[in-house]
Structure 1
């Protein structure tokens, strides 16, 4: 429980502002894809439920980061 709390706190500290990146791919049928962050971090998962705008491959997007069950997720994703 303490580890989970610390992890969430570190995520909030690192990603306390909206991030920017490029959509690597997004499968509309399956409802998920990945974003390549502009800051050089590892690719981040995006689910259709985290979208504000419709996105396509190579779109530049802004997004927030949240800790999900399997790692970091992009949420509040909108085209820049």
Structure 2
């Protein structure tokens, strides 16, 4: 699992982006997530999380997101 921090969250759309230092990603590439990938309450900016990274047509996507 990768570690990261929620950098942006849109509560209306239920999606956001996670910043991570995962070596498999470009330095400036954040990971997209949707609340369907997160259990429980909405995430907020600054929340630290663990997650799996999956490939999607639009770039990396977080799956199995859990708060740490």
Q: What's the TM-score bracket when you normalise by the shorter of the two chains?
A: 0.7 to 0.9
1:49 corresponds in structure 2 to: 36
C-alpha distance in 2 between matches for 1:25 and 1:37: 13
C-alpha distance in 2 between matches for 1:47 and 1:69: 15
Structure with the greater relative contact order (CA < 8 A, sep ≥ 6): 1 or 2? Answer: 2
Q: Which runs of 4+ in 1 moved over 3 A?
A: 38-41
Which of 49, 52, 65 matches 2:53?
65
Paired residues, what number? 63
C-alpha RMSD of matched pairs (Å): 1.6
Q: Structure 2 length as normaliser, TM-score?
A: 0.80
Alignment of 1:3-18 (within 5 A): 18=1
Alignment of 1:19-34 (within 5 A): 19-34=2-17
Task: Provide structure 2 residue ranges, at least 5 long, that are not aligned to the other structure.
Answer: none
Note the C-alpha offset of 1:49: 1.4
Higher normalized helix content (fraction of residues): 1
